[in-house]
Amino acid sequence: MLRFHGDREVAPGLVDLAVNVRQEAPPAWLMGPVTASLAHLGAYPDPAEATAAIAARHGRPPEEVLLTSGAAQAFVLVAQALRPERAVVVHPQFTEPEAALVTAGHAVERVVLRESDGFRLRGGQIPETADLVVIGNPTNPTSVLHEATDLARLTRPGRVTVVDEAFADTVPGEPESLAGARDLPGLLVIRSLTKTWGLAGLRIGYVLGPAPLLDRLHEHAPLWSVSTPALAAAIACASERAVHTEREIAVRLVADRAHLVAALERAGVPVAGRPASSFVLIRVDDGERVRAALRERGFAVRRGETFPGLGQDWLRIAVRDTATSDAFVAVLSEVLGR
Ligand SMILES: Cc1ncc(COP(=O)(O)O)c(C=O)c1O
Protein backbone atom coordinates (compact mmCIF):
# COMPACT_ATOMS: atom_id res chain seq x y z
CA MET A 1 0.00 0.00 0.00
CA LEU A 2 3.02 2.34 -0.18
CA ARG A 3 1.78 3.58 -3.53
CA PHE A 4 -1.63 4.74 -2.28
CA HIS A 5 -2.04 8.53 -2.26
CA GLY A 6 -4.71 11.02 -1.29
CA ASP A 7 -5.91 11.60 -4.85
CA ARG A 8 -7.38 8.08 -4.78
CA GLU A 9 -9.84 9.20 -2.08
CA VAL A 10 -11.33 11.93 -4.23
CA ALA A 11 -14.42 11.53 -6.41
CA PRO A 12 -16.79 13.92 -8.19
CA GLY A 13 -19.21 15.58 -5.78
CA LEU A 14 -17.03 15.09 -2.69
CA VAL A 15 -15.41 17.96 -0.81
CA ASP A 16 -11.71 17.17 -1.11
CA LEU A 17 -10.00 17.13 2.29
CA ALA A 18 -7.74 14.29 1.15
CA VAL A 19 -5.22 16.04 -1.12
CA ASN A 20 -2.90 18.64 0.39
CA VAL A 21 -2.77 20.88 -2.66
CA ARG A 22 -4.10 24.42 -2.23
CA GLN A 23 -7.31 24.75 -4.19
CA GLU A 24 -7.24 28.45 -5.09
CA ALA A 25 -6.29 29.12 -8.71
CA PRO A 26 -2.63 30.15 -9.13
CA PRO A 27 -2.20 33.96 -9.34
CA ALA A 28 -2.06 35.76 -12.71
CA TRP A 29 1.65 36.60 -12.31
CA LEU A 30 2.29 32.86 -12.19
CA MET A 31 -0.17 31.63 -14.79
CA GLY A 32 0.79 34.40 -17.26
CA PRO A 33 4.32 33.08 -17.90
CA VAL A 34 3.13 29.47 -17.83
CA THR A 35 0.53 30.20 -20.51
CA ALA A 36 2.94 32.33 -22.53
CA SER A 37 5.45 29.47 -22.53
CA LEU A 38 3.02 27.37 -24.56
CA ALA A 39 4.06 29.40 -27.62
CA HIS A 40 7.52 27.84 -27.33
CA LEU A 41 6.71 24.15 -27.10
CA GLY A 42 8.47 23.48 -30.40
CA ALA A 43 11.85 23.88 -28.69
CA TYR A 44 13.38 21.48 -26.19
CA PRO A 45 13.31 22.92 -22.67
CA ASP A 46 16.45 24.64 -21.33
CA PRO A 47 16.54 24.62 -17.52
CA ALA A 48 19.40 27.17 -17.13
CA GLU A 49 17.31 30.27 -16.36
CA ALA A 50 14.96 28.49 -13.98
CA THR A 51 17.88 26.79 -12.23
CA ALA A 52 19.59 30.15 -11.71
CA ALA A 53 16.34 31.68 -10.41
CA ILE A 54 15.77 28.91 -7.87
CA ALA A 55 19.45 29.05 -6.85
CA ALA A 56 19.19 32.81 -6.20
CA ARG A 57 15.99 32.31 -4.20
CA HIS A 58 17.85 30.00 -1.82
CA GLY A 59 21.21 31.83 -1.84
CA ARG A 60 23.06 29.03 -3.58
CA PRO A 61 25.09 28.70 -6.79
CA PRO A 62 23.18 27.10 -9.71
CA GLU A 63 25.30 23.90 -9.50
CA GLU A 64 23.57 23.20 -6.19
CA VAL A 65 20.10 23.04 -7.77
CA LEU A 66 18.59 20.18 -9.77
CA LEU A 67 15.11 20.80 -11.16
CA THR A 68 12.86 17.76 -11.24
CA SER A 69 9.48 16.70 -12.50
CA GLY A 70 7.94 17.26 -9.06
CA ALA A 71 9.48 16.20 -5.77
CA ALA A 72 8.31 12.69 -6.68
CA GLN A 73 10.97 12.40 -9.39
CA ALA A 74 13.65 13.46 -6.94
CA PHE A 75 12.95 10.40 -4.77
CA VAL A 76 13.40 8.14 -7.79
CA LEU A 77 16.69 9.82 -8.73
CA VAL A 78 18.00 9.42 -5.17
CA ALA A 79 17.03 5.74 -5.21
CA GLN A 80 18.59 5.12 -8.63
CA ALA A 81 21.79 7.09 -8.16
CA LEU A 82 22.82 6.00 -4.66
CA ARG A 83 23.99 2.59 -3.47
CA PRO A 84 23.21 2.74 0.24
CA GLU A 85 24.27 -0.12 2.48
CA ARG A 86 21.91 0.92 5.24
CA ALA A 87 18.97 3.05 4.10
CA VAL A 88 16.71 4.36 6.86
CA VAL A 89 13.33 6.00 6.28
CA VAL A 90 11.70 7.84 9.16
CA HIS A 91 7.97 7.09 9.35
CA PRO A 92 5.16 7.94 9.35
CA GLN A 93 5.96 9.98 6.26
CA PHE A 94 5.13 10.29 2.58
CA THR A 95 5.63 6.78 1.24
CA GLU A 96 7.15 7.44 -2.20
CA PRO A 97 10.76 7.72 -0.96
CA GLU A 98 10.56 4.19 0.48
CA ALA A 99 8.68 2.90 -2.56
CA ALA A 100 11.36 4.32 -4.87
CA LEU A 101 14.16 2.80 -2.79
CA VAL A 102 12.52 -0.61 -2.74
CA THR A 103 11.80 -0.48 -6.49
CA ALA A 104 15.48 0.31 -7.09
CA GLY A 105 16.39 -2.84 -5.16
CA HIS A 106 17.48 -1.35 -1.84
CA ALA A 107 16.60 -2.79 1.54
CA VAL A 108 14.89 -0.17 3.70
CA GLU A 109 14.95 0.00 7.46
CA ARG A 110 12.13 1.91 9.11
CA VAL A 111 12.39 4.15 12.13
CA VAL A 112 8.81 4.65 13.28
CA LEU A 113 8.17 7.73 15.39
CA ARG A 114 5.73 7.32 18.24
CA GLU A 115 2.45 8.99 18.97
CA SER A 116 3.54 9.26 22.61
CA ASP A 117 6.46 11.44 21.42
CA GLY A 118 4.08 13.61 19.37
CA PHE A 119 5.64 11.91 16.29
CA ARG A 120 8.85 13.83 16.93
CA LEU A 121 12.34 12.49 16.43
CA ARG A 122 14.18 11.72 19.65
CA GLY A 123 17.97 11.70 19.83
CA GLY A 124 19.58 8.35 19.10
CA GLN A 125 16.74 6.89 17.02
CA ILE A 126 18.70 6.88 13.77
CA PRO A 127 21.28 4.07 13.62
CA GLU A 128 24.80 5.46 13.60
CA THR A 129 25.79 3.32 10.59
CA ALA A 130 22.89 4.47 8.36
CA ASP A 131 24.42 5.87 5.16
CA LEU A 132 21.10 7.15 3.79
CA VAL A 133 18.41 8.76 5.95
CA VAL A 134 15.11 10.14 4.63
CA ILE A 135 12.88 12.38 6.75
CA GLY A 136 10.10 14.88 5.97
CA ASN A 137 9.92 18.42 7.37
CA PRO A 138 7.21 19.38 7.97
CA THR A 139 6.16 15.78 7.80
CA ASN A 140 3.22 14.41 5.84
CA PRO A 141 0.92 13.05 7.35
CA THR A 142 1.65 14.09 10.94
CA SER A 143 2.11 17.83 10.21
CA VAL A 144 5.03 17.78 12.66
CA LEU A 145 7.80 20.32 12.16
CA HIS A 146 11.19 19.09 13.31
CA GLU A 147 13.81 21.55 14.44
CA ALA A 148 16.48 22.34 11.87
CA THR A 149 19.19 21.77 14.46
CA ASP A 150 17.92 18.23 15.12
CA LEU A 151 17.99 17.45 11.39
CA ALA A 152 21.38 19.08 10.91
CA ARG A 153 22.67 16.76 13.63
CA LEU A 154 21.75 13.76 11.44
CA THR A 155 24.18 14.81 8.71
CA ARG A 156 27.74 13.52 8.59
CA PRO A 157 30.42 12.57 6.12
CA GLY A 158 29.64 9.20 4.51
CA ARG A 159 25.89 9.66 4.90
CA VAL A 160 23.32 11.21 2.57
CA THR A 161 20.55 12.87 4.58
CA VAL A 162 17.45 13.63 2.52
CA VAL A 163 15.04 16.17 3.98
CA ASP A 164 11.74 16.26 2.12
CA GLU A 165 10.66 19.90 2.38
CA ALA A 166 7.72 19.60 -0.01
CA PHE A 167 5.58 21.49 2.55
CA ALA A 168 8.27 23.86 3.91
CA ASP A 169 6.61 26.85 2.29
CA THR A 170 3.44 26.27 4.35
CA VAL A 171 5.33 27.44 7.46
CA PRO A 172 5.59 31.26 7.73
CA GLY A 173 9.21 32.32 7.29
CA GLU A 174 10.36 28.67 7.04
CA PRO A 175 12.29 28.84 10.32
CA GLU A 176 13.26 25.14 10.29
CA SER A 177 14.17 24.87 6.61
CA LEU A 178 17.63 23.66 5.62
CA ALA A 179 17.23 24.85 2.01
CA GLY A 180 19.99 27.43 2.41
CA ALA A 181 22.32 25.20 4.46
CA ARG A 182 25.43 24.67 2.33
CA ASP A 183 27.83 23.49 5.00
CA LEU A 184 26.18 20.21 6.05
CA PRO A 185 27.83 17.14 4.49
CA GLY A 186 25.63 14.99 2.26
CA LEU A 187 22.46 17.05 2.82
CA LEU A 188 19.86 16.90 0.05
CA VAL A 189 16.79 19.10 0.46
CA ILE A 190 13.85 18.23 -1.77
CA ARG A 191 11.27 20.93 -2.51
CA SER A 192 7.99 21.02 -4.38
CA LEU A 193 6.19 23.86 -6.12
CA THR A 194 3.00 21.87 -6.55
CA LYS A 195 1.33 22.30 -3.14
CA THR A 196 1.10 25.98 -2.25
CA TRP A 197 0.84 27.04 -5.89
CA GLY A 198 -1.82 24.51 -6.86
CA LEU A 199 0.34 23.06 -9.67
CA ALA A 200 0.17 19.33 -8.99
CA GLY A 201 -0.64 18.66 -12.63
CA LEU A 202 2.34 20.63 -13.92
CA ARG A 203 5.01 18.57 -12.08
CA ILE A 204 7.73 20.85 -10.80
CA GLY A 205 10.11 20.48 -7.87
CA TYR A 206 13.83 20.56 -7.18
CA VAL A 207 16.71 19.22 -5.13
CA LEU A 208 19.23 21.41 -3.32
CA GLY A 209 22.58 19.99 -2.26
CA PRO A 210 26.30 19.61 -2.95
CA ALA A 211 27.10 19.80 -6.68
CA PRO A 212 28.89 16.40 -6.91
CA LEU A 213 25.89 14.65 -5.36
CA LEU A 214 23.44 16.44 -7.66
CA ASP A 215 25.60 15.45 -10.65
CA ARG A 216 25.10 11.82 -9.68
CA LEU A 217 21.34 12.29 -9.46
CA HIS A 218 21.28 14.18 -12.76
CA GLU A 219 22.86 11.24 -14.59
CA HIS A 220 19.71 9.25 -13.87
CA ALA A 221 17.25 11.91 -14.97
CA PRO A 222 15.64 11.49 -18.38
CA LEU A 223 16.64 14.16 -20.85
CA TRP A 224 14.32 17.20 -20.80
CA SER A 225 12.36 15.85 -17.87
CA VAL A 226 11.13 19.29 -16.78
CA SER A 227 8.84 20.81 -19.39
CA THR A 228 8.95 24.39 -20.65
CA PRO A 229 5.73 25.41 -18.80
CA ALA A 230 7.10 23.87 -15.59
CA LEU A 231 10.33 25.87 -16.01
CA ALA A 232 8.28 29.05 -16.51
CA ALA A 233 6.47 28.28 -13.24
CA ALA A 234 9.77 27.72 -11.42
CA ILE A 235 11.07 31.13 -12.54
CA ALA A 236 7.85 32.84 -11.42
CA CYS A 237 7.80 30.99 -8.07
CA ALA A 238 11.38 32.05 -7.34
CA SER A 239 10.60 35.76 -7.62
CA GLU A 240 10.49 38.11 -4.63
CA ARG A 241 6.81 38.56 -5.25
CA ALA A 242 6.28 34.82 -5.04
CA VAL A 243 8.22 34.50 -1.79
CA HIS A 244 6.24 37.40 -0.31
CA THR A 245 2.91 35.90 -1.45
CA GLU A 246 3.92 32.46 -0.21
CA ARG A 247 4.47 33.91 3.27
CA GLU A 248 1.08 35.68 3.22
CA ILE A 249 -0.56 32.40 2.22
CA ALA A 250 1.29 30.61 5.04
CA VAL A 251 0.16 33.19 7.61
CA ARG A 252 -3.47 32.79 6.50
CA LEU A 253 -3.04 29.03 6.69
CA VAL A 254 -1.94 29.29 10.34
CA ALA A 255 -5.24 31.04 11.17
CA ASP A 256 -7.32 28.58 9.14
CA ARG A 257 -5.55 25.65 10.80
CA ALA A 258 -6.08 27.09 14.28
CA HIS A 259 -9.78 27.40 13.44
CA LEU A 260 -9.97 23.76 12.31
CA VAL A 261 -8.01 22.46 15.31
CA ALA A 262 -10.19 24.43 17.75
CA ALA A 263 -13.36 23.09 16.11
CA LEU A 264 -12.02 19.52 16.26
CA GLU A 265 -11.08 19.93 19.90
CA ARG A 266 -14.54 21.30 20.74
CA ALA A 267 -15.94 18.19 19.07
CA GLY A 268 -13.71 16.03 21.28
CA VAL A 269 -11.53 14.81 18.40
CA PRO A 270 -7.82 14.54 19.28
CA VAL A 271 -5.34 16.10 16.86
CA ALA A 272 -1.87 14.53 16.69
CA GLY A 273 1.21 16.45 17.79
CA ARG A 274 1.51 20.15 17.14
CA PRO A 275 0.38 20.60 13.53
CA ALA A 276 2.54 22.98 11.50
CA SER A 277 1.50 22.43 7.88
CA SER A 278 -1.54 22.49 5.59
CA PHE A 279 -3.10 19.33 7.07
CA VAL A 280 -3.81 17.79 10.45
CA LEU A 281 -3.85 14.19 11.60
CA ILE A 282 -6.75 13.07 13.79
CA ARG A 283 -7.59 9.88 15.58
CA VAL A 284 -11.12 8.49 15.83
CA ASP A 285 -12.58 5.19 16.97
CA ASP A 286 -13.66 2.85 14.18
CA GLY A 287 -11.86 4.93 11.56
CA GLU A 288 -12.90 2.84 8.58
CA ARG A 289 -16.60 3.29 9.37
CA VAL A 290 -16.07 7.01 10.06
CA ARG A 291 -14.27 7.54 6.75
CA ALA A 292 -17.02 5.71 4.85
CA ALA A 293 -19.75 7.69 6.65
CA LEU A 294 -17.95 10.95 5.86
CA ARG A 295 -17.86 9.97 2.18
CA GLU A 296 -21.58 9.25 2.24
CA ARG A 297 -22.09 12.74 3.64
CA GLY A 298 -19.88 14.35 0.99
CA PHE A 299 -16.38 14.59 2.51
CA ALA A 300 -13.27 12.77 1.26
CA VAL A 301 -10.53 12.46 3.90
CA ARG A 302 -7.19 10.68 3.63
CA ARG A 303 -7.00 7.24 5.24
CA GLY A 304 -4.14 6.67 7.67
CA GLU A 305 -3.47 2.97 7.38
CA THR A 306 -1.27 3.14 4.28
CA PHE A 307 1.32 5.10 6.27
CA PRO A 308 3.74 2.85 8.20
CA GLY A 309 3.20 3.49 11.89
CA LEU A 310 -0.45 4.52 11.59
CA GLY A 311 -3.66 2.50 11.36
CA GLN A 312 -7.27 2.79 10.27
CA ASP A 313 -8.23 5.07 13.14
CA TRP A 314 -5.99 7.83 11.84
CA LEU A 315 -7.37 10.26 9.27
CA ARG A 316 -5.57 13.15 7.61
CA ILE A 317 -7.58 16.30 6.98
CA ALA A 318 -6.50 19.13 4.68
CA VAL A 319 -6.85 22.64 6.08
CA ARG A 320 -9.33 24.56 3.95
CA ASP A 321 -11.25 27.81 4.51
CA THR A 322 -13.05 28.16 7.83
CA ALA A 323 -16.54 27.62 6.36
CA THR A 324 -15.45 24.28 4.85
CA SER A 325 -13.78 23.26 8.12
CA ASP A 326 -16.91 24.16 10.12
CA ALA A 327 -19.12 22.17 7.75
CA PHE A 328 -16.74 19.22 7.98
CA VAL A 329 -16.52 19.21 11.78
CA ALA A 330 -20.33 19.44 12.04
CA VAL A 331 -20.67 16.34 9.86
CA LEU A 332 -17.84 14.55 11.69
CA SER A 333 -19.55 15.24 15.05
CA GLU A 334 -22.77 13.79 13.66
CA VAL A 335 -20.96 10.69 12.38
CA LEU A 336 -19.28 10.25 15.77
CA GLY A 337 -22.66 10.62 17.49
CA ARG A 338 -21.66 13.74 19.42
C1 LIG B 1 5.63 14.97 1.72
C2 LIG B 1 5.53 14.95 0.23
N3 LIG B 1 6.65 15.05 -0.49
C4 LIG B 1 6.60 15.06 -1.83
C5 LIG B 1 5.42 14.96 -2.50
C6 LIG B 1 5.43 14.96 -4.00
O7 LIG B 1 5.26 16.26 -4.46
P8 LIG B 1 5.29 16.60 -6.00
O9 LIG B 1 3.89 16.93 -6.40
O10 LIG B 1 6.20 17.81 -6.10
O11 LIG B 1 5.84 15.44 -6.73
C12 LIG B 1 4.23 14.84 -1.81
C13 LIG B 1 2.94 14.72 -2.54
O14 LIG B 1 1.94 14.38 -1.99
C15 LIG B 1 4.29 14.85 -0.40
O16 LIG B 1 3.18 14.73 0.33
In this predicted structure, the answer to whether residue 317 has a pLDDT above a threshold of 90 is yes
User: Are 45 and 224 contacting, i.e. CB atoms less than 8 angstroms apart?
Assistant: yes
The whole-number pLDDT of residue 1 equals 83
Whole-number Å distance, alpha carbon 165 to ligand 1 midpoint, is 9
pLDDT tens digit sequence for 151-168: 999 999 999 999 999 999
The minimum-distance atom of ligand 1 relative to the CA of 204 is 10
Residue 197 pLDDT level (bands cut at 50, 70, 90): very high
- Residue ranges of alpha helices (H) inside the chain are 28-36, 48-57, 70-81, 96-103, 148-152, 211-218, 228-237, 240-266, 287-296, 322-335
Residue 165's pLDDT is 98
82 lines ligand 1 (CB under 6 A): no
Cβ neighbour number for residue 105 with a 10 Å cutoff: 9
From 189, 220, 239, the end of a domain falls on: 239
Q: Contact, 197 vs 234, CB < 8 A?
A: no
Whether residue 150 lies inside any domain: the answer is yes
pLDDT value of position 26: 96
205 lines ligand 1 (CB under 6 A): yes
Distance CA(167)–CA(170), nearest Å, equals 6
- Mean pLDDT over 240-246 rounds to 97
Tell me: do 138 and 202 sit in the same domain: yes
First to last CA, the chain: 32
> Which residues are CB-contacts of 210 (< 8 A; sequence separation ≥ 6)?
64, 185, 186, 187
Q: Calculate mean pLDDT across residues 221-249.
A: 98
- Residue 192 CB–ligand 1 contact under 6 Å: yes
Under a CB-based contact definition with an 8 Å cutoff, are residues 214 and 204 in contact? no
Residue 134 is assigned to a structural domain of this protein? yes
Residue 82 Cα distances to 77, 165, 186, 211, 221, angstroms: 8, 20, 12, 15, 13
- Based on the fold, state whether residues 123 and 230 are members of the same structural domain: yes
Q: Do 197 and 127 share a structural domain?
A: yes
In this structure, the number of other CB atoms found within 10 A of the CB of residue 327 comes to 16
CA distance 105 to 88: 14
Q: Is 97 in the pocket of ligand 1 (CB under 6 A)?
A: no
Is 263 part of a structural domain of the chain?
Answer: yes
Quick check: 338 pLDDT over 90? Answer: no
pLDDT given at position 283 = 97
User: Would you state the pLDDT for residue 309?
Assistant: 97
Confirm whether 1 is domain-assigned: no
* pLDDT single digits (tens) 116-134: 999 999 989 999 999 999 9
Beta partners for residue 317, in sequence order: 280
- Whether 158 maps to a domain, the answer reads yes
Are 81 and 58 found together in one domain? yes
Rounded-to-integer distance, Cα 313 and Cα 183, Å: 41
Ligand 1 close to Cβ of residue 140 (< 6 A): yes
Is 290 in the same domain as 205?
no
Are 16 and 97 within one domain?
A: no
Any idea what the CATH number is for the domain that residue 232 is in? 3.40.640.10
Please check whether residue 135 lies inside any domain of the structure: yes
- Our answer on whether the CB atom of 226 is closer than 6 Å to any ligand 1 atom is no
Averaged pLDDT for residues 17-27:
95
Q: pLDDT tens for residues 10-21?
A: 999 999 999 999
Average pLDDT in the chain: 97
Residues 274 and 208 in one domain: no
Domain identity same for 42 and 178: yes
Query: What gap in Å lies between CA 187 and CA 33, rounded to an integer?
Result: 32
pLDDT digits (tens, 9 = 90+) for 244-294: 999 999 999 999 999 999 999 999 999 999 999 999 999 999 999 999 999
Calculate mean pLDDT across residues 309-320.
98
142 belongs to a structural domain = yes
- Give the integer Cα–Cα distance in Å for 238 and 235: 5
**166 and 129 share one domain:** yes
Number of domains in the chain: 2
Is residue 206 within 8 Å of 69, Cβ to Cβ?
Answer: no
- For 288, the domain range is 6-24+242-336
Of the residues 220, 239, 258, the one at which a domain ends: 239
Last residue of a domain, one of 211, 239, 267: 239
In this structure, the answer to whether residues 193 and 259 fall within a common structural domain is no
For ligand 1, mutation pick of 78, 162, 195, 279 (most atoms within 8 Å of CB): 195
Domain-embedded: residue 42: yes
Span 183-198, average pLDDT: 98
Pair (73, 115) in one structural domain:
yes
Which pLDDT belongs to residue 123?
A: 86
pLDDT (mean) for 30-54: 98
Q: CATH code at 254?
A: 3.90.1150.10
Q: Is residue 150 domain-shared with residue 266, that is, in the same domain? A: no
Tell whether the model's pLDDT for residue 63 goes beyond 90.
yes
* 112 CA from centroid of ligand 1 (Å): 20
